[in-house]
Amino acid sequence: MMALQKHHFSLFLIFMMSSSVICHITVVGEDPLSLFYEGGTFKGFIKQSTRVLSLKSFEKLSDLSSSDKMVNVNDYGAKGDGKTDDSQAFMKAWQVACSSGNAVLVVPQKNYLLKPITFSGPCKSNIIVQITGTIEASDNMSDYSKDRAHWLKFDSVDKLSVKGGGTIDGNGDIWWKNSCKNNEKLALTFYQCNNLIVEDLTIKNGQQMHLSFQESENVEISGLIVRAPGDSPNTDGIHITNTQNIKISRSIIGTGDDCISIVSGSKNVIATDITCGPGHGISIGSLGSGESKEFVSGIIVNGAKFSGTTNGVRIKTWQGGSGSASNIKFQNIQMHNVTNPIIIDQNYCDQKTPCKQQKSAVKVRNVMYQNIKGTSASDEAVQFNCSENFPCQGIVLQNIDLQHEDGGGTKASCNNVKLFYRGDVNPHCP
């Protein structure tokens, strides 16, 4: 079993059992996984590769070299006075950097105002965007009439590093005030960017999502501060969709929505040393809306602190969808005054009218909760609201201790879940 313990993803359970009972709970002693592990392989498990690729191949992107071409936005007409539109100057500087060999696009310590802009690739070689100043979004909503989905967008740029200790300010107040009238998804977006590093930046007051990673591979994110008021609508901190092999570390995120949201097509995601609050916690999903078929797999959250959030670690799926959320591990997590510390909801319904009961569902399987402690703001610290037709399977709770914030005990609500206990677990399902 030592080989099993040493592998990141080998702790995931999947065992196709009949769903003849609403809630199946197995309380085991030393090692529940031994029920399904024999001769170095899993017995009856669905096999799935979830190896996160090494990012060492492009770590050197963060290092400046004397041979790199320095491209300063001021040399191309940027004023940096916080009033003048510097979009054209940034675009000219980008075109020079992109067409050069290894280049550094320099954003000095001034305040630059930008309208929506797309930095397009492919580029000739590696690019570092060195931001030491502040980039601020235009607050004129008419400036976004041509593209209602993006503010700053990096499109098809490989071997890109964005860093420097500066600030990217979405100036989102005007959007929050009009959120009931708009359905934009404005964000700092990285689209089809492979071998990407984003580090040591403050990203604040996003119009909606702060950072969005789409259809990319081999991404490393570290040392970010992401901030927006707790009542700002739809301001996810980091949003991941159709992206593989992504690592998020050493980041502080507090917004009006999910600190990290992981949706369809995302695979091999590791989040470590995350501080979350305010916000809606770390969410996998929602998945399966509009009867869609969606997949998420190979997720590890290892080392996180949640404070005052509406959720801690959450998986949410709509009825009527299909696909799966599988091979997921939440471990070494501290909760402080969190309303729903541990929650799986296969009956998610985020609409004004009640959702109809449907027979199909996104399957949830192979989920481990390990070493999660702290306090809950609600009586039910653990909620498993799973599908009648596709119960949650292979759910493991190990070393869980969640007390009520006021000092009392907490409860667990468990419906249609195949559950296993390991070590001391509080609260238990009834």
CA 282 from centre of chain: 7
Tell the residue number behind the tokens 């080989």, with chain if given: 3
HSE-up (13 A, CA, CB side) for residue 385: 17
Q: Where are the beta strands (DSSP E) in 242-308?
A: 244-254, 260-262, 267-276, 282-287, 293-307
ω into 341 cis (within 30 of 0): no
**Which strand (E) or helix (H) includes residue 89?**
helix 87-99
Altogether, the residues listed in the chain come to a count of: 430
Classify 4 as helix, strand or coil. helix
Is residue 259 within 8 A of residue 235, CB to CB? The reply is no
d(CA 58, CA 61): 6
Residue 7 is among the residues annotated as catalytic for this protein: no
Nearest to residue 253, comparing CAs of 230, 233, 231, 219? Answer: 230
Q: How far is CA 199 from CA 108, 126, 207, 257, 330, in A?
A: 17, 16, 21, 22, 24
**Residue in 8, 280, 404, 428 annotated catalytic:** 280
Q: How far is CA 325 from CA 16, 215, 286, 394, in A?
A: 15, 18, 10, 12
d(CA 303, CA 317): 24
Beta-strand pair 196-199/160-163: parallel
d(CA 253, CA 338): 15
Classify 378 as helix, strand or coil. coil
CA 308 from centre of chain: 18
Interacting residues of 289 by C-beta distance below 8 A, sequence separation 6+: 318, 321
d(CA 102, CA 159): 10
d(CA 165, CA 162): 10
Beta-strand pair 363-376/69-72: unpaired
Cite the active site residues. Answer: 280
